[in-house]
Amino acid sequence: MNRSKPDASERSNNLGADFLQLDTADAPPGGLTDWLARRLREAVADGRLPAGSRLPAGRVLAAELGVSRGVVTDAYRRLAEEGQVAGRGRGGTVVVAAPPPPPVAPVVEPPRPRPDASALFRDHPGPEVFDLLRGTAARIDLTPGVPDLAAFPRAAWLRAERAVLDGLAAHDLGYGDVRGTPALRRAVAHWLARNRGIRADPDEVLIVAGTAQALALLGRALEREGITEVAVEDPGSLGARQHLARWLAATPPVPVDAEGIRVDALRATGAPAVLLTPAHQYPTGVVLGGDRRRELLRWAGEGGLVIEDDYDAEHRYDRPPVPALRAALPDRVCYAGSISKLLAPALRTGWLLVPARLRGAVLDAKRFADLGNPVLPQLVLARLMESGELDRHLRLLRRRHRRRRDAMVAAIRSHLPEASVHGAAAGLHLMLTLPAGLGCADTELAAAALARGIKVQPLSWHARLPCAPGLVLGYAAGSPSEIAEGIAVLGELVARAG
């Protein structure tokens, strides 16, 4: 019996197979086995079926193709005789070898050009600058923004994940609440009450993909409310300013001094809203002083809106905690926080609290952005927060970060004694101001450091008003030895520039 010639009834129900997109309509009359064997050889040869991959069971593939099982069995046998597949019992039929490819001329890729450091560190960086900087290789990375990622609590995360999956009902795997899972919103409300003095109902908490998304949602909501101008601290975070500027017409700069933002200058801008980092100003590290705080709250009570970016307030070493502005005036303060500086930026999880009048517009912006954050990581994070694991991790981080902070301060004293250190009492970074007589711009210094394999950020990136040359240096993610080596290189470059 010729098994390669099935009658019409054998092929009448053919819908084709997802496997290799096989369709028997492509086979010549009377040649099904030859056609199938050829298609399998081609897939092995071109890598679609690499060594170790398993072929579908003969009966399954035959049913999908609408052919007799003998057609598939004969095709598999031919490849086995050629040494390309082998039967492994219950393991099925497995690809064991591919025919040698035909000789081809070697392709020699041109060497990748080294990133142009001088072009990267422009005086007016564009929105892509942080992507470029993160993607540029360096021996030692002293850029700010991340905690000690090697300390991520992998074991605790896995335990929490297993516990979550064990108790998860089938319906929990559907589309979640756009606002975030009730478990995480409740855990965040408890966390903010314990650590930041904020009393909030879980229904007021919106889970977002980090502070970057919080600013984007606020930008859209404020634009909808007719607010197109938000003042920003100067110096202040370039990244945060870029996110707001994507949605708003203007972000006027307001100077910062030793007591924080100058509220008199804020009033002079006429801006109806302001973005602040009051607990640990970025990048100077100053805390908004008591008198300045009261003056700011008066401005907000008169109709102003504050966006409070509480990006790293939990990391403090040599000073008492500072309550969040949101705790004092919830009706006039939008509060944003995230897990990026507590666990890892890769989790892309944060929270946003807004006054009642903005809640609907912000929720609409979130809904049409992504329908809500992924549910499983939210449930795991909620378990870590409520179980006390996150508090334990924070205590560990504080000890590790303090040692690295101390290592950076000591290295600066040794190699950059003429520099001034700012913001050492808290956070994950230091701001360094350099002597006014420095013979180059801080962007040129950062470019020279990158050429030596040391990655830093120039202070001038974060300022539009005149400021002293300087650097913003992260210490949390590097070892003490790396920090010491990096600062030593900076010392050499500053001495040469001077």
Segment 258-282, tens digit of pLDDT:
999 999 999 999 999 999 999 999 9
Ramachandran angles phi, psi of 480, nearest 5°: -55, -35
Mean pLDDT confidence for 176-185: 97
Q: What is the pLDDT of residues 353-378, one digit of tens each?
A: 999 999 999 999 999 999 999 999 99
Q: Where residue 390 falls among pLDDT bands split at 50, 70, 90?
A: very high
Q: What is the pLDDT of residues 460-494, one digit of tens each?
A: 999 999 999 999 999 999 999 999 999 999 999 99
Q: What is the Cα–Cα distance from 457 to 77, expressed in whole angstroms?
A: 63
Which residue from 308, 268, 305, 314 is spatially nearest to 288, judged by alpha carbons?
A: 308
Q: What is the pLDDT of residues 66-79, one digit of tens each?
A: 999 999 999 999 99
222: Cβ–Cβ under 8 A, 6 or more apart, which residues? 228, 230, 247, 248, 273, 305, 358
Mean pLDDT confidence for 241-247: 93
**3-state SS, residue 257:** strand
Q: What is the Cα–Cα distance from 348 to 338, expressed in whole angstroms?
A: 8
pLDDT beyond 50 at 4: no
Mean pLDDT, all residues of the chain: 92
pLDDT beyond 90 at 244: yes
Class assignment of domain 152-388? alpha beta
Which numeric CATH code is attached to 14-95? Answer: 1.10.10.10
Q: Where residue 497 falls among pLDDT bands split at 50, 70, 90?
A: confident
Provide the residue ranges of all domains of the chain, joining segments of one domain with +: 14-95, 128-150+393-497, 152-388
Q: What is the Cα–Cα distance from 66 to 84, expressed in whole angstroms?
A: 25
Q: What is the pLDDT of residues 145-170, one digit of tens each?
A: 999 999 999 999 999 999 999 999 99
What pLDDT score does 17 carry?
Answer: 85
What pLDDT score does 99 carry?
Answer: 61
What pLDDT score does 106 carry?
Answer: 66
| C-alpha distances in Å from residue 119, one per residue of 133, 390, 489 | 11, 41, 21
pLDDT beyond 90 at 89: no
Mean pLDDT confidence for 6-22: 65
**Which residue has tokens 């962007």?**
443
What pLDDT score does 119 carry?
Answer: 73
State what percent of residues in the chain have pLDDT above 70: 93
Lowest-pLDDT choice from 314-318, 341-345, 405-409: 314-318
What pLDDT score does 1 carry?
Answer: 43
Strand stretches in 379-450, DSSP E? 420-422, 429-433
In this predicted model, which residue has the larger pLDDT, 435 or 484?
484
What H or E segment, with its residue span, contains residue 58? helix 58-65
What pLDDT score does 107 carry?
Answer: 63
What pLDDT score does 395 carry?
Answer: 95
For residues 64 and 16, is the Cβ–Cβ distance under 8 A? yes
pLDDT beyond 70 at 14: no
Ramachandran angles phi, psi of 310, nearest 5°: -95, 60
Tokens of 39: 């298609």
Regarding beta strands 429-433 and 454-455, do their DSSP bridges make them parallel or antiparallel, or are they unpaired? Answer: unpaired
Which numeric CATH code is attached to 128-150+393-497? Answer: 3.90.1150.10
Write the single-letter amino acid at 283: P
